[in-house]
Chain A
Amino acid sequence: MFNVVRTAWFLATKYFSKFSKWTSALIIFVIALTFLNLVVVSGLLVGLIEGSVLGIKELRTGEVFITPTEQNQHIKKYNELFSVLDNNKNIKGYAPRYVSDARLYKDYKTSIYRRAGEVDVDIYATVTGIDIEKEKDFFELDEKIIEGRWFVDTDVNSVILGNRLTASVDEELFTDERVLGDVKPGEIIEIQFENNTSAPQKFQVIGIINSKQPEYDYGIIIPSRELRGILGQSALLGPDNIGVRISNNVEPAVVIDSIKASTDSTLINVRSAEDSIGKYLGNIRKTFVLLSNALGTISIVVVTVMLFIVIFISAITKQRQIGILKGIGISPLTLKLSYMFLSFMYTFVGVVIGVLILVFLLIPYFDANPIDFPFSDGILFVTLPGLITKIFLLFVMSIFAGFLPAHLITRRNTLNTILGR
């Protein structure tokens, strides 16, 4: 068997090196494209969801997310919890958020956004009270400001507005989303907080945020010290959620277990980011994977057929040569393997070029220029096991595409092929 493989490899390398350079270049180009199609299309489709998951984790939940249990509206005994979090050496930091509903008004008397029959322009939105330092240090929320600036300690009556609450006239005409209008930093809006019966208070918009997190983009952000001052007693009930960042190389489960062990688990849910994201995104992810697999299958079939045709034509044109080789004693298996190796070589070079383009061009490009989707920054999501599976699949199909045509030719009568009849 060793002789068979050695001779087949010898023949394949010679066929490969002496094959028409343009034809070889074309075959390799198509294989590289197929490989990229397999990896990039699925990588982008899944990347939309992964980008979303990553965004949620990086900007909201952290690696561990703490929320009240269903029976509780807020996280109770939060001072004890803060103490537990402060003393856990695996936790880098955490950020508690206080959430309230509010009604927003802006320029209602003259607004062009007023709809027929409406007295004024107002919208309902979520107000999130945050620790401005912790959000900046551990969640880098300040980097998502697209206009204006992030909070400073001395800010009073200042808010950051979610970009989905602002819109130009044209955008507004095509959507049912209620917006305040084309609000710019420096402008004043009025807010009436939930459970606050006093008149709406005036706030200056100091920045516009585009975080692709609905909690922020469809709401307003205010320092928690200010929110608690406005809401009074109700805010003291506790934060609505806490995002926790943990040290590198520490498993979230370890931190979750230690938090649970030190707190009253009837009051809080402590979950990993993945668990807290829920089934919805998981289902979308599954759908996209299914979709990309379907597209990938088509690509693989196309490249298999192409390789089959190329090898078949090559073998047909070399029919007499194959007959002579069989005549002088080269076994049919050797000849079949030689074409299989030839196909393998084309696939190998195509895949190597594809991987180089992927690693040195596409991944850095999409990292630097994520695709701007409304709900996420689309990244090119490529995992090593996924990559290996696709490469393996391509090689299996290429082996099949090389072996089958050679099998069809070598099974013909030796003498007939030598004599060309």
Chain B
Amino acid sequence: MRKRTLKRSSLRRALTAFWWLTLIFLYLPLAVVVLFSFNASNSAASMTGLSLRWYHQLLGNEQIMAAFGNTLILALCSSVIALVIGCLIGYGMYRHRHRKLGWLIVLIYLPIVLPDIVFGISEMAFFVQFHRLTGLLQPGLGTMVIAHVTFQIPFVALIVYSRFVGLDPTLFEAAKDLYATPAKRVVHFMLPTIKPALISAFFLSFTLSVDDFVISFFTAGPESATLPIYIWGAIKKGVSPEINAIATLMIGAVAMAAAISLLFNRKRQS
């Protein structure tokens, strides 16, 4: 008996150690970047002291501030548009779930599993041809918003769909029965009921947009560099401590958005 508990406790200890190793594996590189962003010296090799010097320098760098602005505008616009379209698609998937529409669902999923590079090149090729033929859609923030919306839609649609599927279907009938017109059913029943899912979907979309480099890279114009594109360009000249500061800010922003998304996702499930 004693032997068994001993065995079990050593197994537990090994699993706990494994957990911490995994965390270190995941977060040590991030920790290094965060740490060096506060480095007082220019060197990427040694810490000489703590300072906010690189953050100050960031604020003064017009290129970086422009990229930061582009990133925010892109993430906001694409997330709002993707939310509206994805919500409608999610509702449509729910409404017609009893029909044989499996292949349509696969179409929705496809952008999720497609490699970003294929997606990005396709978008670029399309925009180039479209611009050549019509003179519209010059590469820039506009094309980037469209490209981002396309990969955000499936996530929004699936979150909204899963919320609807989790509801008692007689709720829709109760709303009809209690004198709600089709428009009032949307405003007073459907939207309030799926609100947590919508908030969750928005922040997930926002995070995906801020994170994206590959698709942005292929669809961006000369004036519309986002932070990831700027970092990629700057890094060719070597990793400056400034980059560490940008990366740290991005880690913070993305972690926050992801946390909010998770929070509302959990709320809608409870």
**Real binding pair:** no
